[in-house]
Amino acid sequence: MPIDAAQLLEQSEWVRRLARGLALDAAAADDLAQEVQLAALVRRVPIRSDPRAWLAAVARNLALRWRRRESVRRLHEQSAVAERPAPEGGEEASSADDGVVDAEFEE
């Protein structure tokens, strides 16, 4: 039988502590704990081992997947910045709003 809500509730604080150890910050830990609990609730196949062992494996796998995804995202952002052409004249391009703000302070 899949893990039921009562069993999962008994393990919820333990899952949160585990997530805090695996995640990079508190918000990510909360998200990770919720994802682990959701995975347990939607699982249709019985957990044949100790529920904590299964929950820990799910948490580790999700944390690794998130770190991998974050690493790929960072690489894409860095390559996009590196491929961006430099502004003409070697200076930062300024927006039209900058001139308006400057004019207001000159009065």
Confidence class for position 1, pLDDT limits 50, 70, 90 = low
For the segment 38-51, what is each residue's pLDDT rounded down to a tens digit? 999 898 888 887 88
Q: Token pair of 69, please? A: 């995804």
Contacts with 106 (C-beta within 8 Å, 6 or more apart), sequence order: none
Confidence class for position 107, pLDDT limits 50, 70, 90 = very low
The overall average pLDDT reported for the chain is 81
**Can you give the pTM of this predicted structure?**
0.65
CA pair distance 17, 59, nearest whole angstrom? 11
Confidence class for position 36, pLDDT limits 50, 70, 90 = very high
Question: Which residue, chain included where needed, has tokens 């770190």?
Answer: 67
Average pLDDT (1-10) is 81
For the segment 62-96, what is each residue's pLDDT rounded down to a tens digit? 999 988 888 888 888 888 887 777 667 655 545 55
Beta strands in the chain (DSSP E): none
